[in-house]
Amino acid sequence: DVKVTQSSRYLVKRTGEKVFLECVQDMDHENMFWYRQDPGLGLRLIYFSYDVKMKEKGDIPEGYSVSREKKERFSLILESASTNQTSMYLCASRRDRRYSNQPQHFGDGTRLSIL
Amino acid sequence: GQNIDQPTEMTATEGAIVQINCTYQTSGFNGLFWYQQHAGEAPTFLSYNVLDGLEEKGRFSSFLSRSKGYSYLLLKELQMKDSASYLCAVLNDYKLSFGAGTTVTVRA
């Protein structure tokens, strides 16, 4: 089974702090994704990476950056946290775009509160 | 842009059948996924459709009509553990675009 592990289930930070969310997958997947999930809005894509050191903006990248130095690890960075970034953050991985029938596999999520 | 619509909430009785509809308008299409998400947990994969028709997997079935931009997820013989959110998602190249999710409540 694919295992996607997020470093924290719950995190509380202060406005203006730099925040790092870490995600690791153990199945040698090419593609990795960061989403945020808010009530009534569903999952929205922040950034994704189709390979090591590659990154692409998703639908809501403002205020975020990412890093993928190793294939198994994809980090989401909040450069200067703000209260509107309080949300559930979900990481996902997927084998490769060539296998369209392969689903994305999700981590358990990090519930981030910015005070 | 992407527009994916599904009902917000549905309620059904244990043992009954529930059908969750999803309509979509997207700039590209490489398939449609359904995920189940229990409260506080990760979404888990249920089904994938890329061709028109019905895919059956035990108590769950999923249907796709590409010409109508329409899919449904059918849950049969409902059990209490089926109370969850069900997410419709359309794949376009690398990206999945999600609907807001349908919360299904199963009552005894």
The 10s digit of each residue's pLDDT in A11-21 is 999 999 999 99
Tokens found for residue A60: 């809501």
- Residue A50 at interface with chain B, using a CB cutoff of 8 Å: yes
| pLDDT of A109 above 70 | yes
Residue B53: per-residue pLDDT = 97
pLDDT digits (tens, 9 = 90+) for A22-80: 999 999 999 999 999 998 888 999 999 999 999 999 999 999 999 999 999 999 999 99
| Mean pLDDT across A82-90 | 97
CA distance B78 to A38: 27
Q: Verify whether the Cβ–Cβ distance B31 to A109 is below 8 Å.
A: no
Q: Verify whether the Cβ–Cβ distance A56 to B96 is below 8 Å.
A: no
Q: Verify whether the Cβ–Cβ distance B42 to A108 is below 8 Å.
A: yes
| pLDDT of A97 above 90 | no
Residue B1: per-residue pLDDT = 65
CA distance A81 to A107: 22
Distance in Å, alpha carbon of B11 to nearest chain A alpha carbon: 18
The contacts of residue A86 (CB under 8 Å, 6+ apart) are: A112, A113, A114
DSSP string, chain A: ---EEES-SEEEE-TT--EEEEEEESS--SEEEEEEEETTTEEEEEEEESSTT--EE-S--TTEEEEEEETTEEEEEESS--GGG-EEEEEEEES-TT-TTSPPEE---EEEEE-
Considering only alpha carbons, which residue of chain B is nearest residue A5? B42
Counted across chains A and B, CB pairs separated by less than 8 A come out at 53
| pLDDT of A2 above 80 | no
Which value, to the nearest 10 degrees, does the dihedral of the CA atoms of residues B76, B82, B84, B85 take?
A: -20
pLDDT digits (tens, 9 = 90+) for A87-96: 999 999 998 8
User: From the first residue on, what is the mean pLDDT of each consecutive set of 10 residues in chain B (108 residues)?
Assistant: 91 97 94 95 94 95 97 97 97 90 96
Considering only alpha carbons, which residue of chain A is nearest residue B99? A42
| pLDDT of A100 above 80 | no
Considering only alpha carbons, which residue of chain B is nearest residue A50? B94
